[in-house]
Amino acid sequence: MKKPVVLYKKLSPPLMARLHEHTQVTLIDDLGDNGLAQLRAALPEARGLLGASLKLDAALLDLAPQLEAIASVSVGVDNYDIDYLTRRRILLSNTPDVLTETTADTGFALILASARRVVELANMVRNGQWTRNIGPLHFGTDVHGKKLGIIGMGRIGEALAQRGHFGFGMPVLYHSHSPKPDVEQRFNARYLGLHELLREADFVCLTLPLTPQTEGLIGAGELALMRPESVLINISRGKVVNEQALIQALQNRQIRGAGLDVFEREPLAPDSPLLSLSNVVATPHIGSATYETREAMARCAVDNLLAALAGERPPNLVNPQAYRH
């Protein structure tokens, strides 16, 4: 008998067909009030869940006594109480690797757009305000040869370092929980303490997961260490940065600018002060948002879910302690 699974994310027809072949699928198209009511109604029978961008807390999952596996279509797992899932032996899987290169592309796009003021000046042209040759008032800053500081040297950090080192001749500085000799050898990178990196880097790029230890990692004190010529890039999680402190640093021109793909609350409120600042490039969490990568992530999640429901260890298991050997 096919096991019931609940999808709260639309998948491509081939992936839907694959799930229908092996499971009994309930699809929830929209997670508005009606969709959440549908989810609660489906949870008591669910053996598997697949989706993204929904906080699944204990209060919700207590409604799913038969749940065996959750396949998150994401790398980040901050929407899940991993201790709770492990106690209940619910297997949680994610989709690393497949989005590494695409997210690093996004990070470098933000570096270039922020440095060269691409959005600001493109809007000037669009609004009919380009009436004479560009002068110093609208100059940007070079990227090639500048110091690239990466906080969080995981897969995405390494992919960003590769682009900076080989593509733009940027000296690579990095900070992570421990030095990585292979990274230092490949990219001629230097391991620095957090404060030292903030003082020295021209571009400070955040590529680390959101955890209790990293939440609010970059606050007023850290921003004060950055130089007026430096730029902050965040492609990790919004809550890694104290947003109000960042707004003040940008308003005061304490730093040159920021390229932000993630925010404390998403979607970003239309009245956010960030949107009124010309030295901010803000994108709507597009890190992995290409057709190819999103399909690869969904395919990875389906692989994870079907393996877990078959009693196998999912390829990308987040909480191995929950796996019944």
Q: Which of 47, 117, 256, 285 is catalytic?
A: 285
Same domain (yes/no): 254, 170: yes
Residue 91: what are its φ and ψ, rounded to 5°? -80, 125
Catalytic, 177? Answer: no
Catalytic, 116? Answer: no
The answer to whether residue 325 scores a pLDDT higher than 90 is: no
Q: Which residue has the tokens 């999103």?
A: 294
Q: How far is residue 4 from each of residues 13, 27, 46, 58, measured CA to CA in Å?
A: 19, 11, 5, 20
> CB 26: neighbour CB atoms within 10 A?
17
The answer to whether residue 33 scores a pLDDT higher than 90 is: no
Q: Which of 237, 256, 294, 299 is catalytic?
A: 237
Q: Which of 21, 215, 229, 266 is catalytic?
A: 266
Structural domain harbouring 47: 3-98+291-322
Tell me the residue length of the chain: 325
pLDDT range class, residue 109, cuts 50, 70, 90: very high
Catalytic, 266? Answer: yes
Same domain (yes/no): 191, 147: yes
Same domain (yes/no): 109, 215: yes
Alpha helices in 261-320 (DSSP H): 291-309
Same domain (yes/no): 202, 117: yes
- Calpha distance 92→276 (Å, rounded): 39
- Identify which of 190, 120, 110 has the alpha carbon closest to the alpha carbon of residue 150: 190
pLDDT range class, residue 249, cuts 50, 70, 90: very high
Q: Are 239 and 182 in contact (CB under 8 A)?
A: no
Same domain (yes/no): 94, 109: no
Same domain (yes/no): 116, 58: no
Q: How far is residue 275 from each of residues 85, 174, 247, 269, 284, measured CA to CA in Å?
A: 38, 29, 10, 9, 12
Q: Is 193 exposed, middle or buried (0-12, 13-18, 19+ CB in 10 A)?
A: exposed
Q: Are 299 and 325 in contact (CB under 8 A)?
A: no
Amino acid 178: pLDDT: 95
pLDDT range class, residue 30, cuts 50, 70, 90: confident
Q: Are 79 and 250 in contact (CB under 8 A)?
A: no
Amino acid 261: pLDDT: 98
Q: Are 85 and 92 in contact (CB under 8 A)?
A: yes
- Calpha distance 226→248 (Å, rounded): 13
Same domain (yes/no): 40, 76: yes
Give residue-wise pLDDT tens across range 266-303. Answer: 999 999 999 999 999 999 999 999 999 999 999 999 99
Total count of domains within the chain: 2
Same domain (yes/no): 199, 104: yes
Same domain (yes/no): 218, 114: yes
Q: How far is CA 150 from the centre of its chain?
A: 15
Domain at 229, CATH number = 3.40.50.720
Same domain (yes/no): 314, 176: no
Same domain (yes/no): 227, 140: yes
Same domain (yes/no): 29, 109: no
